[in-house]
Amino acid sequence: MQALALRQSAREFDPTPLPEQTLSDLLWAVAGVNRPALGGRTAPSAMNSQEVDVYVALPSGLFRYAALDHSLRLVGAVDARRVTGYQDFVDTAPMDLVYVVDHARMKLVPASKRESYAFAAAGAMAQNASLFCASAGLATVIRAWLDRAALAQAIGLNNEQQVLLAQTIGRTKIMAMP
Ligand SMILES: Cc1cc2nc3c(=O)[nH]c(=O)nc-3n(C[C@H](O)[C@H](O)[C@H](O)COP(=O)(O)O)c2cc1C
């Protein structure tokens, strides 16, 4: 109830990087394995397709979250934060998540339904992140205003992959006293 009461969108972020343990906990909350025997995840997906990957844009590089071994895989040693959105705060906020569907994993879902189901799954993951942030005293905003072509190029997506949403996460910016 407290996390839900605190959930809100933020658009000003302190640039300080998050501690590694916080990043680890956040990624587990977003898309981690919570039922190891079944490979079940913290967020639902249509027919358990697990089709949405989470990419992480940090100053040190662009990574993909590998849920099965709870690790970050380096995609490129580039600071892609700026590419994840048009709004000024993305240049300096410490990290962004980018939700990407791989349509190749959705063969069991009727083709006409795949995109909407993937957006729903990404929304569930993003809400996991938002509630984690609320519980951990962090600031976040889900973003759909994106240059999807630029992001797809920066990540190196193939024709079956599609950028869905992004989400900026960081500490709340403390405003200077006048
Ligand atoms: C699908 C979706 C897309 C959104 N895209 C953006 C965005 O591109 N940029 C932004 O600043 N906020 C974005 N938002 C956040 C909304 O503006 C925000 O949730 C809304 O104003 C309500 O405010 P609240 O989240 O603080 O309750 C998005 C929210 C959703 C659900």
Percent of residues, the chain, with pLDDT higher than 90 = 97
Q: What is the CATH number of the domain that holds 101?
A: 3.40.109.10
pLDDT digits (tens, 9 = 90+) for 102-118: 999 999 999 999 999 99
pLDDT on residue 19: 97
pLDDT on residue 173: 85
In the predicted structure, residue 176 carries a pLDDT above the cut 90: no
Nearest to 99 by CA among 161, 29, 35, 10: 161
C-alpha span between 26 and 65 (Å, rounded): 11
Per the structure, the complete domain to which residue 27 belongs is given by 2-172
**What's the 9 CA to ligand 1 centre distance in angstroms?**
7
Number of separate domains in the chain:
1
- Does any domain span residue 178? no
- What is the residue-averaged pLDDT of the chain? 96
pLDDT on residue 177: 72
- Does any domain span residue 69? yes
Considering only CA atoms, which residue is closest to atom 29 of ligand 1? Answer: 142
pLDDT on residue 175: 73
Global pTM reads 0.96
In the predicted structure, residue 32 carries a pLDDT above the cut 80: yes
**What's the 172 CA to ligand 1 centre distance in angstroms?**
17
- Residue 20: partners with Cβ closer than 8 Å, 6 or more residues away: none
Considering only CA atoms, which residue is closest to atom 17 of ligand 1? Answer: 9
Question: How many CB atoms are located within 10 Å of the residue 106 CB?
Answer: 23
Is the Cβ atom of 8 under 6 angstroms away from ligand 1? Answer: yes
pLDDT digits (tens, 9 = 90+) for 138-174: 999 999 999 999 999 999 999 999 999 999 999 998 7
